[in-house]
Amino acid sequence: MRQIIDQIVNLLQQGITAIFRFIELVWQWSFGQMVTIFQSNWQALPIWKIAVLALAVVAIIYVLYRGFFQLWGAAEQIFKAFVDLLMVLISLLPYVLIAGLIAAAGSYVIQHVNF
């Protein structure tokens, strides 16, 4: 049974690693392309290429703007989920404490009380 769990955990780790490698690859390629377009020599281009370049820059800024607010919303949700998790863990403390007291009392009775 332990081997099956280890294999499942290993498979999940490999899957997550592959996803993050793909995200890193896309991220690096995209930013490389953006750096390339921003390093263009604007003065040496004909007017129609400058218009295309300006349109591309505006589109890049718009897409990054939308992506930023989507990322911000996700960060808020992650923070809220973390706070909710902490609240649940704190609300479980009395139950855990009572269970510990019951276990301690039971252990005391078993070890020290003789009828």
Q: Average pLDDT by consecutive 10-residue portion of the chain (115 residues)?
A: 88 94 93 86 86 90 94 96 95 95 95 87
The pLDDT score that the predictor gives to residue 70 is: 96
Number of domains in the chain: 2
User: What pTM was estimated for this model as a whole?
Assistant: 0.59
**pLDDT for the residue 43:** 83
Question: What is the DSSP secondary structure assignment for residue 114, as one 8-state letter?
Answer: -
The reported pLDDT for the residue numbered 108 is 94
Measured distance CA(29)–CA(31) in Å, rounded: 6
Do residues 36 and 57 touch, judged by C-beta distance below 8 A? no
Non-local CB neighbours of 69 within 8 Å, separated by 6+ positions: none
Q: Are residues 47 and 81 in the same domain?
A: yes
pLDDT at residue 111, rounded to an integer: 92
Assess contact for 53 and 37: CB atoms under 8 A. Answer: yes
Q: What is the pLDDT of residue 53?
A: 87
One domain, residues 100 and 47:
yes
Residues 105 and 56 placed together within one structural domain of the fold: yes
Pick from 64, 14, 6: nearest CA to 34:
64
Q: Which domain holds residue 65?
A: 42-115
The pLDDT of residue 78: 96
